[in-house]
Amino acid sequence: MNNTMTKALAASPLFAGIAPDTLAVMFDCLQPKMSVHPKNSYITIEGEPFVGLGILLTGEAAVIKENVAGARVVMTILQAGDMFGEMIAFSSRNSWPASVCAQTECSVVFLPPQKITGTCAHACNGHQQMVRNMLLIVSEKALMLNRKVEYLTIKSMRAKIATYLLEQYKLMGKKTFVMSLKRNDLADFLNVSRTALSREMGRMRDEGLIDFYRSSVKIKDIEKLKKVID
């Protein structure tokens, strides 16, 4: 594996705390397979055979669920270094539970699950660290899915928007920030239409709660925003 791919994989949380020279040995054992996907193409498709644990090397992708009518819900947005497929990699399921769509041109590496949990031929400490990292990642993803369920239980669209914006405020530590989701993706994440989302955010701006321009948002009245979700 070339140095560029090695550096990209080293940035993944799966390999956190593992020295570069150890990584080179591990990759010989793991046998990662790389593929390139153009913008708006599917990296994985729900229901198709599971091919391995995926790590996004470059680009941006969305994990989505679609119904028979074609409506989709964005589960999460993947950035370079993020992983997908870990929730089923070690289960009895052998097909993808969700689709992954390239938002930009993406390069991806797939790792066979048995290579992760199997005995390392080199008996290296790096392999043990990788397994610990995997357990941490899976736990955090489970918490994220729980967060998604919490959003689905919020009935008011305004309360959903307010909850998301206040979470972003706490995460960024400032009242003006760029949302982590684009408007279309935010609508899918909140399970509302793009038109309805834009209309409600416009009302919230008119009422002095927020101001925004494209993906940039300014919270003008935090207390009023908090009362929306009380």
Collect all residues with Cβ–Cβ distance below 8 Å to 184 and sequence separation of at least 6.
194
Helix orientation angle between 157-172 and 125-153, rounded to the nearest 10 degrees: 140
Distance (Å, whole) CA 153 – CA 65? 18
Q: Report all structural domains of the chain as residue ranges with CATH numbers, in order of start.
A: 3-147 (2.60.120.10), 154-228 (1.10.10.10)
Which tokens is 89 given? 């990699």
61-110 residue pLDDT tens: 999 987 777 777 788 889 888 889 888 887 888 899 899 999 999 999 99
Gyration radius of the chain over CA positions: 20
The answer on pLDDT for 35 being more than 80 is yes
Which tokens is 4 given? 């560029």
Stated pTM of the model: 0.64
The answer on pLDDT for 189 being more than 90 is no
Amino acid at 229: I
Nearest to 12 by CA among 64, 75, 95, 85: 85
Mean pLDDT of the residues in the chain: 86
Tell me if 85 sits within 8 A of 54, measured CB to CB: yes
Helix orientation angle between 3-10 and 20-30, rounded to the nearest 10 degrees: 100
For the chain, the maximum distance between any two Cα atoms, rounded to a whole number of angstroms, is 63
